[in-house]
Amino acid sequence: MQQNANKISSLDQKLKRGLATQAALNGLFQPYNVGKMNLSVAVGGYESQSALAIGSGYRFNDKLAVKMGVAFSVNGGGTAYNVGANYEF
Range of the domain at 6: 2-87
The pTM (predicted TM-score) of the whole model is: 0.85
Judged on CB neighbours under 10 Å (0-12, 13-18, 19+), 62 is exposed
Residue 7 has a pLDDT of 86
**pLDDT 10s digits, 47-85:** 999 999 999 999 999 999 999 999 999 988 789 999 999
Q: How many domains does the chain have?
A: 1
Q: What mean pLDDT comes out for the span 30-37?
A: 94
For residue 5, what pLDDT is reported? 81
Task: Check which CATH number belongs to the domain holding 17 and give it.
Answer: 3.30.1300.30
Q: Is the pLDDT of residue 9 over 90?
A: no
How far lies 76's CA from each of 28, 39, 62, 85, in Å? 21, 23, 39, 29
